[in-house]
Amino acid sequence: MQPSSANSKAMIVGFALVATGGLIGACGMAITCTAMVRGIRRWMRSQQEPPSAVMKRKFSQAKAATSAGASAWQNGMATSGRH
């Protein structure tokens, strides 16, 4: 079976529309990503300290809190077992 001429033309037009929509969507994504990167860079420059320093500080705080919690839990278990 050979597809009809009208059916082939409709498929070509449909493919062209999908391709055009994809191209427009890709352009929109590129513009959006560029704006997001610029905004993130601007935000990072406005910070008082670099993000790496914030992460180091937060990691050391979390480490200290975990250590304190583990120590309190172990000390609580040791004292409750003596009663």
Report residue 11 CA to chain centroid gap.
Answer: 38
Cα three-residue angle 50-51-57, rounded to 5 degrees: 100
Q: What per-residue confidence (pLDDT) applies to 74?
A: 86
Q: What are the structural domain ranges in the chain?
A: 1-46, 50-83
**Distance between CA atoms of residues 52 and 61, nearest Å:** 14
Q: What per-residue confidence (pLDDT) applies to 69?
A: 92
Looking up tokens 């391709």, which residue turns up? Answer: 19
77, amino acid identity: M
With 0.85 as the threshold, say if the pTM is over it: no
**Distance between CA atoms of residues 4 and 11, nearest Å:** 11
> In which residue ranges of the chain is pLDDT below 50?
1
Q: Which SS3 state, helix, strand or coil, does residue 50 take?
A: coil
